[in-house]
């Protein structure tokens, strides 16, 4: 016995007689097993990853005529023989070698030095003469690629579920944000467009990933750690490594050195890159940056792999002998319904909307939120703030920020979202319609979201997106572009509903519906424009002797009309019958898809008229097209019939909304919006607080 | 009371006192409700679809000051009032009208004539004076769009699950085939390429869909039935209507009339089309044709809708008032493992492969299956029959046929699959690599499938697809093109496994692995090439005194080599150590991904040598690259060392395979295949019987 074998302890030569060594790993179908080859010709070296098992087919490396074998190993090494060698009559004999004899090896903890453990197998002939001996030097390392798989904002160690993703409160899986904001205000571009990290603050938009290793100061020669991603994932993600060891060090950084402290590791151009093994017990931090929102061709899941590579002979590729993987899901873009608290109100200032602005400003002041006015140099006369953008947000356990979805509408307001909204912690996303015709239905007055609902037992705690399209049976209808629809459906967390809005000249769902908060029932009411309710109100006025009350009083350039005139106009009545039919169709869909009862719906007295191409526009300011700021509603002033010194339509609105504890402010938008086929809602937009509910808790 | 009201029966005026009418529908959250508007000004007409509910808000159409209302209806009409009117002190009074008063209407069966039922609502004032009366004429129809949702080959009536798709033996949902065969042999093109049905037999490749209606001879004026699909589904499906009423009529058809008997209804160009309402109790048969296999951008699900359109005033779009939908899943392309019975064997005839052909012919004759030889005018010297195509099939409850997947490899054999295989009930599919480099790994020797396996409790009753790629950590590896990989993954039913095959010069998984049937254990064994097993065998020979036995005896142009030469070649030994490491890596993956134990694997004594770019080729004919025809194996004749007049490698193979009851036939492929870096498997292909297991019974 050579001196190098002193540290060995004889073990388990007669497993049939003695129990297996105490710490031998239990058979486990899920355990990662790797085939290890021994050689009687040269000493083998092997790197062992704690938690796996090395499997040696003993007979493979046996010299011809071998009949028995024995195993010895250092104290840190555990092994078992499988299948257990058959009992022998002479129990001084070593275990019998069979073609199936296998040694399963494991080690409990990391090695202090490279090759500090050892196992040897001796082969014996018929007469227990030694025919050969195979020696393997073992080094144990602990390796774990870690993420925040339990979604508490902290990167825990080796979460058993880190390699998969599951929805729900009992689910698991880490989360990525699309880095769609811009840390820089001066040279504005989305952070995801740049392959460099320019500011420390940008790291907050990324998800931490930590490589934890434990082992000798250096790996045995030639072994390497490599991070890698698939080609298709590489379009959606980038990985940076941090060279910065501590937070205090990070603070001292000067801008000049910053980029080289966070080198790019993986990107579309580099799918695989070696990462340093630090030695001892070490942590290397990576920052993972999301680049793309889920879409028709991207389910949102990203896998990042860490492999341990074993050197091969010169010129041969290194072999991955252990791979750890983590899975992220890209956070979806989430819309905010009217029931969420307003944060900022956006309107345009134009040459002719002073009156409107004044009304909005007063309302916003009362609500205590912020007013942001887009000035004429930027809006170039395009006042339809609702139509160019939709405000939403993205959320993760570590960070959250608002994200504006820019419509392919691209009116004169088109530069506003990128130029004025995009900024630090304010993201931007758009979908461009390359091969599709963009219609009025692509304006985001045609994109709304319901408050949280439960439908036949299914919960939608983030509500459901609502868009307007043509009937699928229509030969020549207008629709929202497929790119935008695909984007909305792919977010998954606010399962969209398609309504029929093509019956309207402008074609937006916000022309006939909105949601307001309510203290009872489901926490909200659906408000629907209703010509029937309008006619009923006017008939009541007529019967009460107010048939000569006039609409549009006090408006220049607008012919006044009496209640009697309206009720005697058979053409108008027929047009409104048609409109009511269209709204009823949507009402049926909304009831079914949002699980609403009639008591959840309030019909507002609004008349329409039918114009070119047989499509409808509001006959007087369309009160349902309101801005909802908490309990304060900014409603288009309807200029309805004056009865006893008060507008009968306003009175009805105040009565209906008052029952819900809501306060109505009527804003004169007649000339500057209504006459241009829009109203208060079309001309404004609201950024709201995010849901307290976390999207990853959804049971999808 | 007018005479037209004679058929009416007074009902339910005092629901608080009497029970609701016997047949009134129970409240049902899932029931399709449609809002119906009444008018006191004119008689309304309404089409009612049996199984739905019409909902009338009574107060909406009430004249001002209405306080009470009463309802009368024809015997065929059932209704209930919701919420039930409050009890009144004076029970001679009709029900009290509240803003929420709703009438829910249903009818039990189809009407005999249009407008043959009626409901009227009378409105009363404070003193029960009649203020108005609204009348609605009702026509009931039964409508059901039907498919074979229970997967028994018969289109049942109105299956409650027809509108969704669920995997598994307790699942449901109809199935479509991609019509990728060609009924015509003379003017060959895939049937799905043509918008016409040219032969009656083509109907078998499509799925039947039946529109069942029951009602009056004609619908009330203006009502229409329309079939429609979404734009994205229209890329994957086409619908034809049958004008043929009976099977006997179908038989009498002459070719000339055929096309107009099966007009195209829906296609990429026509997303929505009216279909006739036949009147009485009628069935209209449609044939649904699948056009595209599932792929990365297509999950395989197809929805077809039937809507009933209500006329609107002139110029306004018709409104869909009822929609029935059916869902199909496109049948996936399924591969067939070696354990399935062979049907046809394919080989090429070339100027130099007479010997090989002779061997194959004899083997195939013994197995009783068909041999098809691709002649030189077609193969143009390209002998790699395995590499150009992969045979599979598609299956549905109504029909099944083989489908060849054509590789993007496109060697000189490229016309063979389309020109010679495509035909009646023999389909064709290919994926073209537009933006990708095609490598040797795209040949289908690199595409195999395992027999059925169970892995950690998960069943794969159709086995798992196996492909070979480069290590994901390799900087410059060759891979199978993404288009083919995406196609394979999208089929879903044979979840693929990626092995590492880039270490081979040719780079195909069939160079180091195959499956053979076995009478025990899992019903098969995995055979792996094993240099270790080869060295062991040669060392045994040497020790038994056969060191001078020579390989390659009897081969011209091939230097002979002794066992001693091989064993003393240290370079060769090192190369084979590397190769064994590569195969062991794959062995570990296969064990894990197929749930195999060592006892399920047989190591075959095969040596490799490493050539240009450090990639490996077989040192002598690669016996694992065999053709498996039931219990008969066609194995490359290894030309191994002759010991006692017998090739030691053949003897070892016969011994190993003999234990499984398999018979080995050694086929001399040395000059015409082995020297060109392929063997028997590379030079042949087998079409096999489909699985008896039905893919839709998978629990995915």
The reported pLDDT for the residue numbered A189 is 86
Q: pLDDT grade, residue A14 (50/70/90)?
A: very low
Cα separation of B17 and B87, whole Å?
8
Cα separation of A353 and A676, whole Å?
12
Type and span of the H or E element at B247: helix B247-252
Residue in A with minimal Cα distance to B605: A60
CA end-to-end span of chain B: 64
3-class DSSP assignment, residue A137: strand
Q: pLDDT grade, residue B250 (50/70/90)?
A: low
Evaluate whether ipTM surpasses 0.90.
Answer: no
Q: What is the DSSP letter of B418?
A: I
Identify the residue whose tokens are 């009156």.
Answer: A355
A395-399, B314-318, B332-336: which range is least confident on average?
A: B314-318
The CA-based dihedral angle spanning residues A245, A248, A251, A253, taken in that order and rounded to the nearest 10 degrees: -50
* Cα atoms in the Cβ-side hemisphere of radius 13 Å centred on B298: 25
Contact A356, A382 (CB under 8 A): no
Q: Do B588 and A34 touch (CB under 8 A)?
A: yes
Identify the residue whose tokens are 């195959």.
Answer: B514
Q: pLDDT grade, residue A30 (50/70/90)?
A: low
Cα separation of A99 and A69, whole Å?
12
**What values do phi and psi take at A384, rounded to 5?**
-90, 75
pLDDT digits (tens, 9 = 90+) for B22-54: 333 334 445 689 999 999 988 999 999 999 999
Q: Mean pLDDT, to the nearest integer, of A125-134? A: 94
Which of B272, B318, B475 lies closest to A272 in CB terms?
A: B475
Q: Do B532 and A272 touch (CB under 8 A)?
A: no
Q: Do B37 and A588 touch (CB under 8 A)?
A: no
Per-residue pLDDT for A468 more than 90? yes
CA A11 to chain centre: 54
The reported pLDDT for the residue numbered A589 is 96
Identify the residue whose tokens are 């063997």.
Answer: B679
Which of A297, A307, A587 lies closest to B297 in CB terms?
A: A297
- pTM of the shown model: 0.90
- Alpha-carbon distance B316 to nearest alpha carbon in chain A (angstroms): 6
The reported pLDDT for the residue numbered A246 is 52
pLDDT digits (tens, 9 = 90+) for B468-523: 999 988 877 899 999 999 999 999 999 999 999 999 999 999 999 999 999 999 99
Which of B37, B228, B473 lies closest to A272 in CB terms?
A: B473
Measured over all CA atoms, what is the biggest interatomic distance in chain B, rounded to whole angstroms?
A: 124
Q: Mean pLDDT, to the nearest integer, of B352-369? A: 95
Q: Mean pLDDT, to the nearest integer, of A309-316? A: 82
Q: Do A60 and B32 touch (CB under 8 A)?
A: no
Q: Please, is B78 exposed, middle or buried when counting C-beta atoms within 10 Å of its C-beta (0-12, 13-18, 19+)?
A: buried
Q: If you average pLDDT over each of B18-32, B312-326, B559-573, which comes out highest?
A: B559-573
Q: Do B231 and A585 touch (CB under 8 A)?
A: no
- A247 belongs to the catalytic site: no
Q: Do A598 and B57 touch (CB under 8 A)?
A: yes
- Alpha-carbon distance B538 to nearest alpha carbon in chain A (angstroms): 10
Which of A32, A580, A614 lies closest to B37 in CB terms?
A: A580
Residue in B with minimal Cα distance to A594: B29
A570-594 vs A531-543: helix crossing angle, rounded to 10: 130
pLDDT digits (tens, 9 = 90+) for B163-214: 999 999 999 999 999 999 998 877 778 888 888 887 888 899 999 999 999 9
The reported pLDDT for the residue numbered B25 is 37
- A654 belongs to the catalytic site: no
Tell me the domains of chain A and their CATH numbers.
33-142 (2.60.40.1860), 147-330 (2.60.40.1700), 334-697 (3.75.10.10)
For A5-24, the DSSP string reads GTT-EE--S-TTTSPPPTTP
CA distances from B423 to A334, B190, B202 (A): 51, 8, 11
Q: Mean pLDDT, to the nearest integer, of A195-222? A: 92
Q: Could you say which of A510, A600, A668, A669 is catalytic?
A: A510
Q: Mean pLDDT, to the nearest integer, of B372-400? A: 97
Residue in A with minimal Cα distance to B580: A37
- B508 belongs to the catalytic site: yes
CB neighbourhood size of B534 (10 A): 25
Q: Do A307 and B472 touch (CB under 8 A)?
A: yes
Q: Do A588 and B320 touch (CB under 8 A)?
A: no
The reported pLDDT for the residue numbered B61 is 86
Contact B406, B347 (CB under 8 A): no
Give A459's strand partners.
A454
Q: pLDDT grade, residue B155 (50/70/90)?
A: very high
Residue in A with minimal Cα distance to B230: A472
The reported pLDDT for the residue numbered A609 is 97
A182-191, A519-528, A553-562: which range is least confident on average?
A: A182-191
Q: pLDDT grade, residue A86 (50/70/90)?
A: confident
The reported pLDDT for the residue numbered B14 is 34
Cα separation of A345 and A665, whole Å?
15
**What values do phi and psi take at B121, rounded to 5?**
-120, 125
Q: Please, is B89 exposed, middle or buried when counting C-beta atoms within 10 Å of its C-beta (0-12, 13-18, 19+)?
A: exposed
Cα separation of A13 and B177, whole Å?
62
- Alpha-carbon distance A206 to nearest alpha carbon in chain B (angstroms): 24
Nearest to B381 by CA among B352, B415, B419, B360: B352
- B374 belongs to the catalytic site: no
Which of B65, B271, B319 lies closest to A581 in CB terms?
A: B319
Q: Could you say which of B148, B382, B387, B442 is catalytic?
A: B387
Cα separation of B388 and B411, whole Å?
7
Nearest to A393 by CA among A10, A689, A22: A689
Q: Checking DSSP bridges between strand B301-310 and strand B319-330, what pairing results, if any?
A: antiparallel
The 3-state secondary structure of A241-296, one letter per residue: ECCCCCHHHHHHCCHHHHHHHCCEEECCCCCEEEECCCCEEEEEEEEEEECCCCEC
Q: Mean pLDDT, to the nearest integer, of B323-342? A: 98
Q: Do B578 and A474 touch (CB under 8 A)?
A: no
For B504-572, the DSSP string reads BSS--GGGTEEEEE-SSTTSEEEEEEEHHHHHHHHHHHIIIIITT-EESTT-TTS--EEHHHHHH-HHH
Q: Could you say which of A324, A387, A622, A668 is catalytic?
A: A387
The reported pLDDT for the residue numbered A29 is 40
């Amino acid at each position: 016995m050579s001196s190098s074998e002193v540290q060995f302890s004889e073990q388990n030569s007669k497993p049939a007689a003695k129990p297996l060594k105490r710490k031998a790993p239990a058979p486990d179908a899920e355990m990662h097993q790797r085939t290890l080859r021994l050689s009687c010709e040269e000493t083998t070296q092997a790197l062992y990853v704690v938690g796996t098992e090395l499997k040696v087919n003993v007979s493979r490396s046996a010299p011809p005529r071998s009949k028995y074998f024995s195993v010895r190993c250092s104290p840190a090494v555990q092994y078992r023989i499988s299948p257990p060698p058959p009992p022998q009559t002479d129990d001084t004999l070593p275990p019998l070698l069979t073609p199936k004899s296998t040694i399963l090896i494991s080690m409990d903890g990391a090695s202090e030095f490279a090759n500090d453990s050892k196992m040897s197998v001796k082969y014996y002939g018929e007469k227990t003469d030694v025919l050969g001996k195979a020696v393997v030097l073992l080094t144990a390392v602990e390796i774990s690629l870690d993420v925040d798989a339990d979604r508490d904002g902290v990167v825990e160690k080796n979460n058993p579920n880190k390699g998969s993703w599951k929805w729900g409160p009992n689910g698991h899986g880490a989360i990525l944000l699309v880095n769609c904001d811009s840390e820089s205000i001066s040279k504005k571009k989305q952070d995801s467009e740049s392959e460099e990290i320019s500011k420390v603050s940008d790291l907050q938009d990324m998800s931490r990933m930590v490589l934890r290793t434990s082992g000798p100061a250096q790996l045995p020669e030639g072994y390497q750690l490599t991070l890698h991603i698939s080609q298709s994932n590489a379009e959606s993600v980038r990985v940076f490594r941090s060279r910065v060891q501590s937070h205090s060090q990070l603070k001292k950084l000067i801008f000049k050195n910053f980029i080289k402290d966070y080198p790019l590791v993986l990107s579309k151009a580099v799918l695989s890159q070696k990462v340093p093994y630090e030695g001892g017990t070490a942590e290397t931090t990576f920052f993972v940056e999301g680049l793309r929102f889920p879409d028709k061709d991207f389910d949102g899941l990203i896998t990042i792999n860490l492999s341990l590579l074993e050197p091969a002979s010169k010129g041969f590729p290194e072999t991955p002998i252990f791979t750890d993987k983590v899975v992220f899901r890209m956070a979806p873009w989430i819309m905010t319904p009217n029931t969420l608290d307003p944060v900022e109100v956006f309107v345009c200032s134009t040459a002719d909307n002073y009156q409107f602005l004044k009304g909005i400003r007063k309302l916003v002041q009362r609500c205590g939120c912020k007013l942001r006015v887009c000035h004429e140099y930027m809006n170039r006369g395009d006042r339809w703030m609702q139509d160019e953008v939709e405000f939403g947000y993205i959320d993760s356990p570590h960070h959250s920020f608002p994200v504006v979805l820019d419509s392919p509408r691209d009116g004169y307001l088109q530069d506003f979202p990128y130029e004025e909204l995009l900024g630090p912690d304010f993201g931007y996303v758009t979908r461009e319609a390359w091969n599709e015709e963009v219609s009025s239905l692509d304006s985001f007055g045609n994109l709304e979201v319901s408050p949280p609902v439960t439908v036949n037992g299914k919960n939608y705690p983030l509500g459901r997106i609502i868009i307007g399209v043509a009937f699928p049976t229509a030969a020549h209808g207008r629709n929202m572009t497929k790119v935008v629809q695909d984007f909305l459906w792919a977010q998954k967390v606010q399962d969209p509903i398609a309504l029929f809005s093509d019956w309207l000249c402008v074609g937006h769902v916000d022309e006939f519906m909105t949601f307001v908060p309510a203290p009872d029932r489901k926490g909200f009411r659906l408000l629907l424009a209703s010509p029937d309710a309008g006619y009923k109100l006017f008939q009541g006025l007529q019967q009460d002797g107010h048939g000569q009350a006039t609409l549009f009083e006090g408006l220049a350039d607008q012919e006044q009309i009496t209640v009697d005139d309206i009720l005697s106009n058979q053409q108008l009545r027929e047009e409104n019958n048609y409109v009511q039919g269209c709204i009823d169709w949507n009402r049926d869909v909304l009831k079914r898809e949002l699980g609403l009862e009639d008591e959840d719906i309030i019909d507002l007295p609004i008349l329409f008229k039918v114009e070119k191409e047989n499509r409808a526009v509001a006959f007087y300011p369309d009160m349902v097209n309101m801005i909802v700021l908490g309990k304060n509603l900014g409603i288009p002033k309807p200029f309805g019939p004056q009865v006893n010194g008060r507008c009968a339509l306003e009175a009805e609105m105040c009565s209906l909304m008052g029952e819900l504890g809501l306060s109505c402010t009527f804003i004169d938008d007649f000339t500057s919006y209504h006459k241009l086929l829009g109203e208060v809602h079309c001309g404004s937009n609201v950024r709201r607080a995010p849901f307290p509910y976390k999207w990853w808790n959804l049971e999808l």
